[in-house]
Amino acid sequence: MPDEGIWSAQATTPSDIEEALRELLKQQHAKSEAYVPARVLNMVAVVDRDWRGEIYNRLEGVGRYHASRTILCAVEPGRETIDAWVTVSAETDPRPGELSLTHERVVLDIGPRHLKALDSIVDPLVVTDLATLCWAPHGHAEAIDALLRISQVVLVDSINEPDPRAAVRRAHQLVQEAYVVDLAWLRSTPWRERIASTFDPPQWREELGRLKAVSVRHRPDSGIAGVLFFGWLSAGLGWQPGSLVQRNGELFGRASARRGDVELLLQPNEKQNAPGLSGITVETASGMTISLERGTGGLTAHRRTRDGTESSWTVLGASRGEAGILGEGIRQALLRDPTYGPALECAEAMLA
């Protein structure tokens, strides 16, 4: 069984926690030189104390995308002091001639009064010269604002914000300060990839300039994922997006394209369980229709050409699941997606 070192303390300080981390790493190295600290990414998660276990389990489920050092800050109302629990654990037992990576996990129980100066608490605990990703799935915007001083990447999930307008405003604000990874955006990745690949063959490419209607179906709380999808199309195809308006429980709008207006429709799907999109239909002026629907094991695709010919197929492995989405979000902290920013700007224009 892989080895693990543990330290804990009540009413402690960042300097004591930093010293404990160094001592645990020394102890691991003394046991075997095969134990080597992973050094890729710091992650700081700020969560509500009551949901600490749920977030901890989500982070455990990301598999090989674990951050090298994870600092979980659990906010407890009324707390004045800092309690800490630190572990240094190896992925596997080292085999002869092989190395075993170790990861550090720091759990801090803090109070609301610590949030505005959270950077001063966390700064001594992150690994120097590594990128730092911060995430606050339960709000705590003041904590993220404080952490921006020491973070290069912010992980957000725009679906968690009840007001889509507030979600895009906040994301746009953060984009000015750091690289933003939005889980709502990542959930649409398979859909964007499949739509792009559908029009990639030379015989279908010209149809992109003839799009006249796009409808997106989504879980009721995931409309922002659909708006970001519209933003991606608008930015990529040079559309001028108009405002989306409420109509019979749906959001309707238009975007101005070179050959005319494109109708945009967002439709909530009450039967959708997983966050994100459940279906997309695009229609061209020449009469071609392409639909994607969420199905078992992937996406079900259907095409009807202008002469009435129909074909259907299944795109396997399109869904990563929520654990996969979070893992991909952590992986994206080390990458750069140039398409999110322009899509976000167009989405903001649609929700103005």
User: Residues 99-112: what's their mean pLDDT?
Assistant: 94
Residue 74: domain span: 4-151
Angle at 186 between CA 182 and CA 189, to 5 degrees: 150
What's the pLDDT score for residue 74? Answer: 98
How confident is the model over 271-292, as pLDDT tens digits?
Answer: 888 899 999 999 999 999 999 9
What's the pLDDT score for residue 97? Answer: 78
Q: Does some domain include residue 332?
A: no
Euclidean distance between CA atoms 224 and 160, whole angstroms: 10
What's the pLDDT score for residue 1? Answer: 42
User: Residues 148-165: what's their mean pLDDT?
Assistant: 94
Residue 268 sits in the same domain as residue 140:
no
Residue 119 sits in the same domain as residue 254:
no
Whether the per-residue pLDDT at 137 is higher than 90: the answer is yes
Euclidean distance between CA atoms 181 and 179, whole angstroms: 7
User: Residues 137-152: what's their mean pLDDT?
Assistant: 96
Residue 196 sits in the same domain as residue 103:
no
Whether the per-residue pLDDT at 320 is higher than 80: the answer is no
Q: Does some domain include residue 173?
A: no
The residue with greater pLDDT, 153 or 320, is: 153
What's the pLDDT score for residue 308? Answer: 86
Q: Does some domain include residue 181?
A: no
Residue 147 sits in the same domain as residue 205:
no
Residue 197 sits in the same domain as residue 300:
yes
Residue 15 sits in the same domain as residue 131:
yes
Show which of 151, 174, 207 is a domain's final residue.
Answer: 151
To the nearest whole number, what is the mean pLDDT of the chain?
A: 92
Beta bridge partners of 251: 246, 266
Q: Does some domain include residue 253?
A: yes
CATH code, domain with 232: 3.30.360
User: Residues 108-127: what's their mean pLDDT?
Assistant: 97
How confident is the model over 203-251, as pLDDT tens digits?
Answer: 888 888 899 999 999 999 999 999 999 999 999 999 999 999 998 889 9
Q: Does some domain include residue 161?
A: no
Whether the per-residue pLDDT at 317 is higher than 70: the answer is no
Q: Residue for token digits 């019979």?
A: 248
What's the pLDDT score for residue 60? Answer: 87
Q: Does some domain include residue 315?
A: yes
Whether the per-residue pLDDT at 131 is higher than 80: the answer is yes
Q: Does some domain include residue 67?
A: yes
In percent, the amount of the chain with pLDDT more than 90 equals 72
Q: Which amino acid is at 273?
A: N
Q: How confident is the model at residue 261 (pLDDT cuts 50, 70, 90)?
A: very high
The pairing of strands 298-304 and 310-316 is: antiparallel
User: Residues 254-270: what's their mean pLDDT?
Assistant: 94
Residue 136 sits in the same domain as residue 226:
no
Euclidean distance between CA atoms 242 and 255, whole angstroms: 5
Q: How confident is the model at residue 319 (pLDDT cuts 50, 70, 90)?
A: low
Q: How confident is the model at residue 3 (pLDDT cuts 50, 70, 90)?
A: low
Q: Does some domain include residue 157?
A: no
User: Residues 306-333: what's their mean pLDDT?
Assistant: 82
Residue 125 sits in the same domain as residue 199:
no
Q: How many domains does the chain have?
A: 2
Using only the alpha carbons of the chain, give its radius of gyration: 23
Hey, what's the torsion of the CAs at 192, 196, 199, 200, to 10 degrees?
A: -160
Whether the per-residue pLDDT at 348 is higher than 80: the answer is yes
Residue 113 sits in the same domain as residue 215:
no
- What pTM was estimated for this model as a whole? 0.92
User: Residues 61-86: what's their mean pLDDT?
Assistant: 94
Residue 120 sits in the same domain as residue 67:
yes
Q: Would you list the DSSP string of 105-168?
A: EEEEEE-GGGGGGHHHHHGGGSPTTSEEEEE-TT--HHHHHHHTTT-SEEEE-GGGSSSHHHHH
Residue 30 sits in the same domain as residue 118:
yes
Show which of 151, 171, 203 is a domain's final residue.
Answer: 151
User: Residues 113-125: what's their mean pLDDT?
Assistant: 97
Residue 116 sits in the same domain as residue 12:
yes
Reading the block at residue 268, the tokens are: 């909530």
